[in-house]
């Protein structure tokens, strides 16, 4: 072989080696970046609330059967200090009186009612009236669950995604949540494998939880009044106490996901109900999403849906840890609030 041919071969080898190295670097991404194969969590928003009355055992059971990795709980507190699972601050939209109800038991603010009053209400009938195509006789008479009843029903067999709702109007909500998690043995599983994710629109509520127990994984929600840019401006502050963000789906694009991932914050948009939206957000790199239709997300994910819901949470936690270990922001117990 003459010198020219040898030089060409050496140059070609170097080019191939450089190309392979570049491809590996591109695939690996910058330190701390999430990987394309990372899990996409399927969060049953208020359960499978597209098909069954929200925040009932019927909706939670259905979400789990449809492939949800998490079931979501929105918390309200009764006047006698019990955490119940209901989205709205008032009973008006979803509660209807029954023969047991006294006057006014099933309207008005939850925090002005006792648990006994609230337990007289029916939260299934409204759904049958609003969604006759999904109506079922067994939904009539369904009750508002307490958080404790939810923990008693599912124990450690599922993952919970729990929101402190209007926490400023319910002092002690965070302490009671953490007390119940302790009582049902969910505190360590939350910290170690994200069996419980705690979410809130209120930074103060999450910062309070963080101060009470810095090991707990927290998700900062952002309202639809924000934009991708305003959320980006808050990511550094959020990363001081949270492991992820929950933006409105319309605020999410690849730039926001990249900015969040650069700080090792997972991105879980809400509320994503159409398959095309799910596909767009997965392409943008999100790590999960809230949906009223967990079966649709399961179908979109197809083979990439993680088999076994507990495993999905473990993989998500592991990916987040790997990001932090690879040079992203690392939370410490001493982080300020
Ligand atoms: O928690 C995520 C999403 O549920 C926030 O909106 O109003 O349905 O609680 P909302
Ligand atoms: Ca919620």
How do residues 143-174 score in pLDDT, each as one tens digit?
999 999 999 999 999 999 999 999 999 999 99
The answer, yes or no, to whether residue 80 has pLDDT greater than 80, is yes
pTM, two decimal places: 0.88
Q: Is 277 in the pocket of ligand 1 (CB under 6 A)?
A: no
DSSP helix/strand/coil, 269: coil
**pLDDT on residue 10:** 35
**pLDDT on residue 334:** 29
**pLDDT on residue 307:** 72
DSSP helix/strand/coil, 71: strand
Cβ(252)–Cβ(277) below 8 Å: no
Residue 45 CA to ligand 1 centre (angstroms):
8
Residue 154 CA to ligand 1 centre (angstroms):
22
Which ligand 1 atom is nearest residue 268's CA? 2
Q: Is 174 in the pocket of ligand 1 (CB under 6 A)?
A: no
Q: How many CB atoms lie within 10 A of CB 74?
A: 21
pLDDT tens for 64-78 read: 999 999 999 999 999
Confidence of residue 337 (pLDDT cuts 50, 70, 90): very low
Ligand 1, atom 7, residue with closest C-alpha: 87
Entry field: residues in the chain? 337
**pLDDT on residue 72:** 99
Using CA atoms in the order 225, 229, 230, 235, what is the torsion angle rounded to 10 degrees? 120
The answer, yes or no, to whether residue 34 has pLDDT greater than 60, is no
Using CA atoms in the order 165, 170, 171, 172, what is the torsion angle rounded to 10 degrees? -70
Would you list the DSSP string of 142-174? Answer: --PPBHHHHHHHHTTSSEEEEEE-SGGGSTTHH
Residue 270 CA to ligand 1 centre (angstroms):
7
Which ligand 1 atom is nearest residue 246's CA? 2
**pLDDT on residue 327:** 59
Ligand nearest to the CA of 270: 1
Rounded CA separation 40/264 (Å): 15
Catalytic position from the list 87, 210, 261, 268: 87
Ligand 1, atom 1, residue with closest C-alpha: 163
Across 230-258, average pLDDT: 98
pLDDT tens for 86-117 read: 999 999 999 999 999 999 999 999 999 999 99
- Please state, in angstroms and as integers, the Cα–Cα distance from residue 225 to each residue in 113, 114, 219, 270, following that order: 31, 33, 18, 13
The answer, yes or no, to whether residue 326 has pLDDT greater than 90, is no
Pairing of strands 83-85, 70-77: antiparallel
Mark out the alpha helices in the chain (DSSP H runs).
3-28, 57-65, 115-118, 125-130, 147-154, 173-183, 187-193, 203-212, 228-233, 235-238, 254-261, 275-284, 294-301, 309-325
Which ligand 1 atom is nearest residue 74's CA? 9
The answer, yes or no, to whether residue 286 has pLDDT greater than 50, is yes
DSSP helix/strand/coil, 119: coil
Ligand 1, atom 2, residue with closest C-alpha: 270
45 is catalytic: yes
Best mutation site among 59, 270, 272, 288 for ligand 1, i.e. most ligand atoms within 8 A of its Cβ? 270
**pLDDT on residue 306:** 74
Residue 74 CA to ligand 1 centre (angstroms):
8
Helices (H) and strands (E) in the chain, counts: 14, 9
87 is catalytic: yes
Residue 188 CA to ligand 1 centre (angstroms):
25
Rounded CA separation 146/110 (Å): 12
65's CB contacts (< 8 A; 6+ apart) are none
CA atoms within 13 A on the CB side of 317: 20
**pLDDT on residue 37:** 57
**pLDDT on residue 304:** 76
Across 169-180, average pLDDT: 98
């Amino acid at each position: 072989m003459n010198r020219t041919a040898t030089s060409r071969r050496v140059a070609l080898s170097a080019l191939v080696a450089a190309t392979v190295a570049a491809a590996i670097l591109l695939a690996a991404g910058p330190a701390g970046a999430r990987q394309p194969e990372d899990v996409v969590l399927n969060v049953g928003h208020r359960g499978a609330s597209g098909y069954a009355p929200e925040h009932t055992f019927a909706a939670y059971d259905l979400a789990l059967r449809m492939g949800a990795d998490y079931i979501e709980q929105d918390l309200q507190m009764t006047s006698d200090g019990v955490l119940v699972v209901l989205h709205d601050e008032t009973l008006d939209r979803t509660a209807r009186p029954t023969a047991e109800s006294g006057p006014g038991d099933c309207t008005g603010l939850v925090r002005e009612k006792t648990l006994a009053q609230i337990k007289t209400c029916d939260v299934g009938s409204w759904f049958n009236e609003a969604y006759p195509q999904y109506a079922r006789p067994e939904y009539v008479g369904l009750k508002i669950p307490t958080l404790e009843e939810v923990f008693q029903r599912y124990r450690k067999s599922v993952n919970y995604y729990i929101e402190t709702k209007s926490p400023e109007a319910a002092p002690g909500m965070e302490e009671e949540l953490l007390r119940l998690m302790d009582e049902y043995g969910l505190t360590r599983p939350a910290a170690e494998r994200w069996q419980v994710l705690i979410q809130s629109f209120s930074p103060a509520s999450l910062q309070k939880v963080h101060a009470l127990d810095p090991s707990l994984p927290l998700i900062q929600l952002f309202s639809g009044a924000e934009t991708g840019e305003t959320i980006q401006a808050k990511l550094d502050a959020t990363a001081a106490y949270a492991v992820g963000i929950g933006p409105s789906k319309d605020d999410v694009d690849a730039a926001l996901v990249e900015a969040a991932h650069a700080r090792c914050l997972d991105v879980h948009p809400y509320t994503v109900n159409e398959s095309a939206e799910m596909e767009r957000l997965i392409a943008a790199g999100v790590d999960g999403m809230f949906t009223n239709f967990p079966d649709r997300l399961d179908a979109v994910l197809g083979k990439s849906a993680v088999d076994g819901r507990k495993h999905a949470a473990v993989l998500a936690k592991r990916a987040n840890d790997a990001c932090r270990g690879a040079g992203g922001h690392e939370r410490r117990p001493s982080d300020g609030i």
